[in-house]
Structure 1
Amino acid sequence: MNSRLKGSEIFRNALIFFGMFVLVLGGFQFLPLSLINDHSGVLKNILASVAYFAIYGVLIWLSIACYKKYGRHSINQKLRPYDFKMAIMFYGISIILEMVLSVLNMVIYNKTTSSNQQAINEMLNRNHLTLILMLFGLIILSPILEELVFRGILMDSVFQPGAKWLPIVISGALFGLAHSPGFNIFFILTYFEMGFFMAYVYRKTGNIKANITMHMLNNLISSIGIIQIMFQK
């Protein structure tokens, strides 16, 4: 399980990660949400909602299958107090850095919202159903999918068992680039440090559920403004 990887295995696993990376980056699960609006019929909205969960389900199923086959840790581990403590502690550190980067971004570029967040905000202007589906995906489904791909599959299958800092840095960098399509160094650094600390938590705990918990907590707190919008409409 933890034996040294051959070059051919690393190449194969890198291709598998790249395939999952493209699927996540493509955001295919969000396409059905564009079909939901107040003027669509009930049946059309229901079918779009089912398609939304179905695509998410397929992506998560694929990532779990890859993680079980190529990962070094069991996905069935329970969340220990130590895991939870690490998730909370490094979430706090991440938030402090995020606030510092946000202030610098506002001072230098006069920007406070990333292009990733702007795309979410535009979709939220549709209706309550879109809001609810987006929130569930953002808080529950995306953390599961992204942590399995960016932490589990990447760090466990593409790097040697003894590697420590390189997989953490690469994981954070790819996570940052995936969430910041527009080149703004502060937005990239914000998502990089999030991904970096989630990767560090995974490396320290060996439990994918620890960094999934941290990711869910981050997205939950970040979604408070979206929840307020939902109740104001």
Structure 2
Amino acid sequence: MKVIKSAFKWIGIIIWLFLIFAFMQVPAVEETPLYSIDSQQQFIEAYRHVNLLHNILMAIIFTVITFIMEWYVCTWLKNRLNFSKKLSKKYLILAIVAGILSFVLEILITPSALSNLNQPDVFTETLKTPLGVILILDLILIAPTLEELLFQASIQKGVFRNLTPWLAIILTSIIFAAAHDITLNLTFFHRVLSGIIYGYIYQKTDDIKMAILSHSISNLLSLIICCILAWT
């Protein structure tokens, strides 16, 4: 009976985690009018059908829902979050350096990601519209927060809490990379390394805010470089 109860518990947790992952995609979907474009005119045509208020409300609603779900699953997995934990100057510096390192690794491992920015793309075209505000907020605040709560807080120190720290970090980083794209390429390798960096920061500081900060800084630097290269 105890085994059956435990099995149902873990099935429930897995389903809950999948729902979290599904819900956290909504803000990313609402930040752009379509996934890819072949021309600027195609983007303009798609943007004409955008209901800005609807996109904003959907992004806010699903961000809040996802955050609440992550908070409860962390409690369920015996990893109570503490956002009021006192900030340490040492850990702040460590988190910032880790974020910069993640960004540098992206440039070194996947330089081709920045090679086609002179061509029309959804990312840069969206930044020129009011939807750009949602896009920026998602990149530097929403996505880092929701992803670190799911992967590092819920999985690394929740699902894998009984494993050795480094094994938990590595397994979580692989799941983190696979969740973005299962294709085994240099981008996947970079995401695994970034996941390891964020996982290490969380393990070292025991403060999810530091992992979120690292992720946010990496995304912010990528955003800045992309904008500079695309508009020069």
TM-score, length basis structure 2: 0.75
- Alignment match, 1:108: none
1:90 aligns with 2:98: yes
Assess, with a 3 A threshold, how the Cα gap between structure 1 residues 228 and 71 changes in structure 2: closer, same or farther. farther
1:101 to 100, 109, 122: 109
Preserved contact between residue 180 and residue 188 of structure 1 (Cα < 8 Å): yes
Cα distance, 1:165 vs structure 2: 1.4
Deviations 1:66-111 (A, max 9, x none): 22342424323233223212212323433443333125xxxxxxx4
- Alignment match, 1:28: 26
**Counterparts of 1:199 and 1:168 in 2: how far apart (Å)?**
5
Q: Report the AA paired with residue 207 of structure 1.
A: D
1:39 aligns with 2:48: yes
Cα distance, 1:150 vs structure 2: 0.7
1:1-233 alignment, distance < 5 Å: 8=7, 12-24=12-24, 27-33=25-31, 34=33, 39-40=48-49, 44-76=51-83, 77-102=85-110, 111-112=112-113, 121-126=121-126, 127-161=128-162, 163-181=164-182, 183-228=183-228
Q: Report the AA paired with residue 66 of structure 2.
A: L
Q: Specify the SS of the correspondent of 1:112.
A: helix
Aligned length: 211
TM-score, length basis structure 1: 0.75
Preserved contact between residue 124 and residue 130 of structure 1 (Cα < 8 Å): no
Assess, with a 3 A threshold, how the Cα gap between structure 1 residues 229 and 20 changes in structure 2: closer, same or farther. same
Q: Report the AA paired with residue 39 of structure 1.
A: R
| RMSD across aligned positions (CA) | 3.2
How much identity, in percent, do the aligned residues show? Answer: 20
Q: Report the AA paired with residue 168 of structure 1.
A: I
Preserved contact between residue 198 and residue 211 of structure 2 (Cα < 8 Å): yes
Preserved contact between residue 155 and residue 167 of structure 1 (Cα < 8 Å): yes
Preserved contact between residue 201 and residue 211 of structure 2 (Cα < 8 Å): yes
Structure 1: any 5+ residue segments left out of the alignment? 1-5, 104-110
Q: Specify the SS of the correspondent of 1:128.
A: coil
Which deviates the most, 69-78 or 183-192?
Answer: 69-78
Which deviates the most, 56-65 or 130-139?
Answer: 56-65
